[in-house]
């Protein structure tokens, strides 16, 4: 049977310090694009560059930079928290090669940034939906990533919480000047959070604009 290629002939740039939202229908390859950027998938054609350096190029595995060395942060649709670790240890998980003191400082800073100070010992099941997603954001921001990747971060929340969290995350990202790429099928999510929006359909970028 004929299959539709995931992603296809797309070309997309994210400028330093901007939040770019990519809008596309379900099944249009948005998540695959994030996985390519993160190094969880390898391109069949084309290349992926971060800060001008190639981190993946079709046909040349020697240029591939593994995910853990790309310095990217990931926030998934469901938060993807570790259920057996408390909030503090969830955030600390990605801080491997720093001193104990710096790890403690970064965890404290990240939790304060997302307004979860005082909830360090809470387990994920003791947090609300919005708190879980803010904790997921804190974990992604703690290592100070070059690029933050957000995959439909609001889609599983009820409308009232969704609106509140959109505003909170927009303010957090803009406050730290974080470069981010968010994919969503919801134009409201894109317009509420992004400094620039790109519309994707059938493997092509139809339009981009502020």
Contact partners, residue 14, CB within 8 Å, separation at least 6: 20, 147, 179, 180, 181
Per-residue pLDDT of the chain (210 residues; tens, 9 = 90+): 445 656 677 888 999 999 999 998 877 778 888 899 999 999 999 999 999 999 999 989 888 999 989 999 999 877 689 999 999 999 999 898 889 999 999 999 999 999 999 999 999 999 988 899 999 999 999 999 999 999 988 887 888 888 888 888 889 999 999 999 999 988 888 988 899 999 988 778 888 888
Q: Which residues of 3-15 are buried (b: 16+ CB within 10 A; e: fewer)?
A: eeebbeebeeebe
Contact partners, residue 2, CB within 8 Å, separation at least 6: none
Of 33, 39, 38, nearest in space to 5 by CA = 33
Residue 5 is predicted with a pLDDT of 59
Residue 1 is predicted with a pLDDT of 45
Query: Whole-model pTM above 0.85?
Result: yes
Residue 79 is predicted with a pLDDT of 67
Supply φ then ψ for residue 165, to 5 degrees.
Answer: -70, -35
């Amino acid at each position: 049977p004929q299959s539709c290629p995931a992603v296809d002939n797309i070309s997309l740039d994210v400028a330093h310090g901007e939040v770019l939202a990519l809008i596309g229908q379900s099944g249009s390859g948005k998540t695959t694009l994030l996985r390519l950027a993160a190094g969880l998938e390898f391109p069949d054609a084309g290349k992926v560059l971060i800060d001008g350096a190639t981190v993946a190029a079709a046909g040349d595995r020697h240029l591939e930079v593994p995910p853990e060395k790309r310095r990217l942060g990931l926030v998934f649709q469901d938060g993807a928290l570790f259920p057996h670790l408390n909030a503090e240890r969830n955030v600390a998980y990605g801080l491997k090669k720093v001193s104990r003191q710096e790890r403690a400082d970064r965890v404290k800073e990240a939790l304060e940034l997302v307004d979860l100070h005082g909830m360090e010992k809470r387990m994920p099941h003791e947090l609300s939906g919005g708190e879980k997603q803010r904790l997921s954001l804190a974990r992604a921001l703690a290592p100070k990533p070059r690029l933050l990747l957000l995959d439909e971060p609001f889609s599983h929340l009820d409308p009232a919480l969704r609106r509140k969290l959109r505003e909170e995350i927009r303010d957090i990202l803009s406050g730290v000047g974080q470069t981010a790429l968010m994919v969503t099928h919801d134009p409201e999510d894109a317009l509420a959070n992004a400094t620039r929006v790109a519309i994707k359909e059938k493997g092509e970028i139809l339009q981009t604009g502020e």
